[in-house]
């Protein structure tokens, strides 16, 4: 039902922009490229506009080289925002929403429904699941390239099918994707057996700096701008890093504090069983899911860490 309006609109319009959030993850890139490759098959003019570069590990996906930075002038008569809870998460690309018809497709509990059409399903493991449904409703034949993009979105957002967002629907979709040509071993190799040396050195540093709080129920990692500089590490090298803190026996909440090259503090939140970290992230202007959330704030790294750790202790 929620697909009816968007399907009609997509069929009517010719020039479509696809947007997603800053600091792209696998669901962002996988969803954008799946939809791009599908809409191209419908004969649309499509542009994917993203503030940040496509992380290296996702460059094997078809059309990864088509992603452009905000700034250019495009004639656009429809904008589709993917995997993005609110407008500010779009960064500079948000300007392409102005005076446009917007379809907002997402699975974040904190979504503000900023679209004229909103396909929001918090039960979906990944936005890529919703893109899969949309492509089917548009009656576009799924080819191997599109399926690899969707599979990547699902695999990364479910932590390789291990998180509580993984459902029978997730596995059914994954099975269909494999039936349409996806080779799981190929995708896994590209995503998880392809780490940069700087990433491994950053993991080593992060593990050596890990701290524990509140009877070891909270684990935190703090990385300064200098830590990144000394290892030549990039922001994308922290992808998955917070899981090392979460995956420790007895830890319920994991926190990652990163100081960016622009001296902003990015906070990652993860929980294992019962703490709703999306609520804490929202308090700091961020958002996300119950078990995985994030926020970006200004301030001094150590002060912010102490304040957030205190906040987390208060919700136990």
How far apart CA 248 and CA 272 sit, in angstroms, is: 10
| Least distance (Å) between residue 64 CB and Mn ion | 17
CA 127 to chain centre: 9
| Least distance (Å) between residue 81 CB and Mn ion | 12
Cβ proximity to Mn ion: between 13 and 266 the closer is 266
Total residues contacting Mn ion by CB under 5 A comes to: 4
Cβ proximity to Mn ion: between 79 and 128 the closer is 128
The one-character DSSP state at 43 is: T
The mark string for 201-240 relative to Mn ion (x by CB under 5 A, - otherwise) is ----------------------------------------
Secondary structure of 122-134 as H, E, C letters: CCCCCHHHHHHHH
Residue with tokens 């088509």: 66
Tell me which residue of 183, 137, 134, 179 sits closest to 31, measured CA to CA. Answer: 134
Cβ proximity to Mn ion: between 222 and 293 the closer is 293
Cβ proximity to Mn ion: between 163 and 214 the closer is 163
> Which residues in 115-134 contact Mn ion (CB under 5 A)?
127
Q: Please state whether 155 falls in left (phi above 0), alpha (psi between -120 and 50) or beta.
A: alpha
| Least distance (Å) between residue 70 CB and Mn ion | 21
Tell me which residue of 260, 264, 254 sits closest to 234, measured CA to CA. Answer: 260
> Which residues in 19-58 contact Mn ion (CB under 5 A)?
27
> Which residues in 58-87 contact Mn ion (CB under 5 A)?
83
Cβ proximity to Mn ion: between 27 and 51 the closer is 27
Cβ proximity to Mn ion: between 30 and 233 the closer is 30
Lateral strand order in the sheet of 265-271: 211-213, 218-223, 253-259, 265-271, 292-297, 287-288
Number of H helices, E strands in the chain: 11, 11
Are 255 and 220 a contacting pair, CB within 8 Å? yes
**Which residue number has the CB closest to Mn ion?**
27
| Least distance (Å) between residue 82 CB and Mn ion | 9
The mark string for 153-172 relative to Mn ion (x by CB under 5 A, - otherwise) is ----x---------------
Cβ proximity to Mn ion: between 157 and 259 the closer is 157
Tell me which residue of 284, 216, 209 sits closest to 252, measured CA to CA. Answer: 216
The one-character DSSP state at 70 is: B
Are 121 and 103 a contacting pair, CB within 8 Å? no
| Least distance (Å) between residue 250 CB and Mn ion | 28
Distances (CA, A) of 192 to 76, 165, 254, 278: 36, 20, 21, 27
Cβ proximity to Mn ion: between 6 and 30 the closer is 30
| Least distance (Å) between residue 108 CB and Mn ion | 7
| Least distance (Å) between residue 160 CB and Mn ion | 15
| Least distance (Å) between residue 105 CB and Mn ion | 10
* Site for Mn ion, rule CB under 5 A: 27, 83, 127, 157
């Amino acid at each position: 039902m929620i697909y009816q309006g968007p399907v009609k609109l997509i069929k009517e319009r010719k020039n479509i922009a696809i947007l997603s959030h800053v600091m792209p993850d696998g669901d962002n890139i996988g969803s954008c490229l799946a939809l791009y490759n599908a809409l191209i098959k419908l004969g649309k003019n499509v542009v994917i506009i993203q503030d940040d570069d496509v992380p290296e590990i996702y460059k094997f996906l078809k059309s990864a080289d088509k992603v452009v930075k905000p700034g250019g002038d495009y004639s656009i008569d429809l904008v589709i925002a993917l995997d993005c809870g609110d407008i500010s998460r779009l960064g500079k690309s948000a300007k392409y929403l102005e005076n446009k018809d917007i379809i907002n497709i997402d699975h974040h509990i904190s979504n503000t429904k900023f679209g004229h059409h909103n396909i929001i399903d918090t039960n979906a493991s990944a936005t890529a699941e919703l893109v899969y449904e949309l492509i089917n409703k548009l009656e576009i034949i799924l080819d191997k390239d599109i399926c690899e993009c969707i599979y990547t979105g699902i695999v990364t957002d479910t932590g390789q099918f291990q998180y509580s967002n993984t459902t029978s629907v997730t596995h059914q979709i994954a099975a269909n994707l494999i039936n349409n040509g996806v080779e799981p071993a190929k995708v896994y190799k590209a995503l998880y057996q392809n780490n940069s040396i700087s990433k491994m050195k950053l993991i080593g540093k992060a593990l050596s700096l890990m701290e524990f709080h509140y009877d070891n129920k909270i684990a935190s990692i703090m990385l300064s701008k200098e830590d990144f500089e000394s290892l030549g590490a990039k922001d994308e090298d922290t992808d998955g890093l917070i899981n090392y803190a979460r995956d420790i026996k007895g830890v319920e909440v994991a926190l990652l504090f990163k100081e960016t090259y622009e001296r902003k503090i990015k906070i990652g939140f993860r929980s294992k069983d019962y703490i709703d970290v999306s609520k804490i992230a929202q308090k700091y202007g961020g958002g996300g899911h119950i078990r995985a959330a994030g926020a970006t704030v200004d301030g001094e790294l150590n002060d912010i860490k102490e304040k957030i750790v205190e906040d987390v202790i208060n919700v136990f």
